[in-house]
Amino acid sequence: MNRAWNTSTTPGTEGRQAETLAGGGAAGAGMQTTYKTRGGPGRQSQGMSTSTRFDTKIAVLLREDLEPWQRLNVTAFLVSGLGTQVPELIGQPYEDADGVPYLPMFRQPVLVFQGAKEVLRAAHERALSRALPRAVFTSDLFATGHDDANRAAVRAVRTTDLDLVGLAVHGPRNAVDKVLKGARMHP
């Protein structure tokens, strides 16, 4: 069944209800059998699967005053941390029609949000209080040049004094939604 409704109660999930697979199909463990997607012509004909609604959510929250290159850089760094600590997020390797292999990626979408510095600080506190897997990126990391310096820059600052510019979290959908309270979907 394909029905549309307002999904505004869940940050950043505007879209439509997708078709449901009978008997769970290939959805796998820990997932329901629907996934919200943006509507569009030819979605099914392009081979895009819209048949999985995940019980968990991967989200990145960026400070709204970042430059475009910083947003991309911070997002890439943050999601790399989640993949190392939550291995079940990673799917199987890819292969094209010519048999050329490619690395595996996340099994579910990464939703990107933005907010003011205060929204980011509050989200960080909520992620900590819920003990969700998380990664942080501070403004100090823009001035470092390698991994050891990145870790040293974070270690030098108390939790409450971190100048956060990005936060990635993974967890149950409702918990992540609560962490993101006040944030808005990245344009």
d(CA 108, CA 48): 13
| Structural domain for 136, as ranges | 55-185
What's the pTM?
A: 0.71
Q: What is the pLDDT of residues 83-107, one digit of tens each?
A: 888 888 999 999 999 999 999 999 9
Give yes or no: residues 20 and 109 share one domain. no
Alpha helices in the chain (DSSP H): 68-85, 117-129, 147-155, 173-179
45: which residues sit within 8 A by CB, 6+ positions away? none
Give yes or no: residues 143 and 102 share one domain. yes
Give yes or no: residues 145 and 174 share one domain. yes
Give yes or no: residues 85 and 64 share one domain. yes
Give yes or no: residues 70 and 39 share one domain. no
- End residue of a domain, out of 35, 54, 73: 54
Average pLDDT over residues 117-138: 95
Give yes or no: residues 34 and 97 share one domain. no
Q: What is the pLDDT of residues 129-147, one digit of tens each?
A: 999 999 999 999 999 989 9
Give yes or no: residues 101 and 79 share one domain. yes
What CATH number has the domain bearing residue 171? 3.40.1490.10
Give yes or no: residues 42 and 124 share one domain. no
d(CA 6, CA 171): 23
Give yes or no: residues 100 and 115 share one domain. yes
Residue 111: predicted pLDDT: 93
Specify the number of domains making up the chain. 2
Give yes or no: residues 79 and 10 share one domain. no
d(CA 8, CA 163): 30
Q: What confidence category does residue 51 fall into, taking pLDDT thresholds of 50, 70 and 90?
A: low
Give yes or no: residues 87 and 135 share one domain. yes
Long-range contact pairs involving 44-53 (C-beta distance under 8 Å, separation at least 24):
50/18, 50/19, 51/18, 51/19, 51/20, 51/21, 51/25, 51/26, 51/27, 52/21, 52/26, 52/27, 52/28, 52/108, 53/18
Q: Which residue has the tokens 């949000």?
A: 113
Is 153:145 a contact under the CB 8 Å cutoff?
no
Give yes or no: residues 81 and 47 share one domain. no
